[in-house]
C-alpha cells in the first residue's frame, strides 16, 4: 500500500513537472503581456523598460526555473490585469468553483446513478429507452447553449432564478466563502449546477447502464441467481457494487472534467470562479493567471486521480488483500 502510494506520488510529481514545463513554455508564446499592462497611450521606451523589469527579457530556462520554484511556494506572481498576487485571486475564486463543481457532481451522481441502474436492469423497457434518448439530447446540445436557454426560460421569462453570480455569500473560516448558507446563494446555484452537471449526469448514467449490462451477464451474477437470491440482492449487492469499480475511475476523471468545463458555465452565468478568471485571463493575455490555472487544474486532476487510486484499494479487495 505505502509502496503503491509512493509510486503513484512520484508519477504525479513527474506529471506536475511536465505540466509546469508545458504551462510555462506555452504561455511564454501567447500574445504580448506588456500591451495588457499598460494603456494604449504608453510609449515604446516605457514598454521596453517594463519588459525588462518583469524579466521577460531573461533567457527562457532562467524564467522557467524562477517559475517552478515560485509555483512550488504557491507564488504565481502578480496578475497583469489586477495587480494582485495571483494566489490571492485564486484563493477567493476557488470556493466558488469548488462549490459549483461539487453541487453539479452531486446532481450528476444523484440523478445519473439511479437512472443508469434502472436502464441497465431493464434494458428493453420504454422508460430506459427514453432515458437513453433524452440523455443523448443532453450530450448533443452544447453546454453553453443549454445555459443560455435556461437563463432565457427561468431568469428572463419566468424570473424564478437568478441569471448570474453567486447571490449572497457567507464567510466561513478565514478565506472560504460559501453560497450554501443563504437562500439567494442556493437559488443562484441551481441553474449553473444543472447546466454543468447535465453532461456528466448523462455520461454517468450511460456508463452505469453499460457496466450493469456487462456485469449482469457475468458468471457470478448467474450463480447468484442460481442460488435463488432475490433480485434486490443480486442487482444491488452484487451487480451494482461490481459496476461501481469502473464507475469510480470515470467519475474521478469526470470530476476533473467538471472543474475544467466549469469555465464555460462560469462564463455563461458570470459565476465568479476560477474558470471565469482563466477565460478572462486568456482574453487579456494575463500570463500569471493562466499558468496558475493550468497548474491548479492539473494539480486537482492529479490529486483526484490519486484519491481514486486509493479508493480502489478500499473498494476492490483484490487490490487490498494479497493472495495467499
Residues in 7-66 that interact with other proteins by CB under 8 A: 11, 14-15, 18-19, 22, 26-27, 29-32, 34-44, 47, 50, 53-55
Output the smallest distance, CB 84 to other proteins, in A.
5
Residue 84 touches other proteins, criterion: CB under 8 A: yes
Q: Which alpha helices (H) appear in the chain, and where do they start and end?
A: 2-28, 33-37, 44-53, 60-72, 86-121, 126-140, 143-150, 183-215, 219-226, 231-232, 241-269, 274-283, 287-315, 317-320
Residue 236 touches other proteins, criterion: CB under 8 A: no
Residue 311 touches other proteins, criterion: CB under 8 A: no
Of residues 156-185, those binding other proteins (CB under 8 A): 156, 159, 162-165, 168, 170, 172, 181-184
Of residues 260-289, those binding other proteins (CB under 8 A): 260-261, 263-264, 267-270, 272, 276-277, 279-280, 282-285
**Number of alpha carbons in the 13 Å side-chain half-sphere of residue 173:** 7
User: Which element (helix H / strand E) includes 170?
Assistant: strand 170-172
Residue 315 touches other proteins, criterion: CB under 8 A: yes
**Number of alpha carbons in the 13 Å side-chain half-sphere of residue 190:** 13
What Rg do the C-alpha atoms of the chain give, in angstroms?
24
Residue 196 touches other proteins, criterion: CB under 8 A: no
Q: Which is nearer to other proteins, 122 or 280 (CB)?
A: 280
Q: How far apart are CA 88 and CA 284, in angstroms?
A: 19
Output the smallest distance, CB 166 to other proteins, in A.
9
Residue 103 touches other proteins, criterion: CB under 8 A: no
Amino acid at each position: 500500500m505505502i509502496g503503491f502510494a509512493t509510486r503513484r506520488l512520484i508519477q504525479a510529481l513527474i506529471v506536475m513537472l511536465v505540466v509546469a514545463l508545458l504551462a510555462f513554455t506555452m504561455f511564454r508564446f501567447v500574445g504580448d503581456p506588456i500591451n495588457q499592462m499598460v494603456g494604449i497611450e504608453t510609449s515604446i521606451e516605457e514598454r521596453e523598460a517594463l519588459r525588462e523589469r518583469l524579466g521577460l527579457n531573461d533567457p527562457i530556462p532562467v524564467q522557467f526555473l524562477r517559475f517552478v520554484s515560485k509555483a512550488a511556494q504557491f507564488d504565481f506572481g502578480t496578475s497583469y490585469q489586477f495587480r494582485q498576487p495571483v494566489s490571492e485571486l485564486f484563493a477567493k475564486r476557488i470556493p466558488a468553483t469548488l462549490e459549483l463543481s461539487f453541487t453539479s457532481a452531486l446532481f450528476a451522481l444523484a440523478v445519473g446513478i439511479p437512472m443508469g441502474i434502472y436502464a441497465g436492469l431493464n434494458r428493453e423497457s420504454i422508460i430506459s429507452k427514453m432515458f437513453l434518448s433524452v440523455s443523448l439530447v443532453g450530450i448533443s446540445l452544447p453546454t453553453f447553449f443549454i445555459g443560455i436557454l435556461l437563463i432565457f426560460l427561468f431568469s428572463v421569462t419566468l424570473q424564478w432564478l437568478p441569471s448570474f453570480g453567486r447571490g449572497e455569500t457567507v464567510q466561513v473560516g478565514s478565506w472560504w466563502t460559501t453560497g450554501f448558507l443563504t437562500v439567494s446563494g442556493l437559488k443562484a446555484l441551481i441553474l449553473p449546477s444543472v447546466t454543468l452537471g447535465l453532461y456528466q449526469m448523462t455520461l454517468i448514467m450511460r456508463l452505469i447502464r453499460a457496466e450493469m449490462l456487462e456485469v449482469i451477464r457475468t458468471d457470478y451474477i448467474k450463480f447468484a441467481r442460481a442460488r435463488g437470491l432475490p433480485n434486490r440482492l443480486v442487482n444491488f449487492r452484487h451487480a451494482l457494487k461490481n459496476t461501481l469499480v469502473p464507475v469510480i475511475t470515470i467519475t474521478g476523471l469526470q470530476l476533473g472534467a467538471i472543474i475544467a468545463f466549469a469555465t464555460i458555465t462560469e462564463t455563461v452565468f458570470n459565476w465568479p470562479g476560477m474558470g471565469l478568471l482563466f477565460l478572462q485571463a486568456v482574453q487579456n493575455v494575463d500570463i500569471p493567471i493562466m499558468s496558475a490555472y493550468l497548474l491548479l487544474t492539473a494539480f486537482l486532476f492529479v490529486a483526484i486521480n490519486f484519491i481514486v487510486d486509493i479508493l480502489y484499494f478500499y473498494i476492490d479487495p483484490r487490490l487490498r488483500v494479497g493472495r495467499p
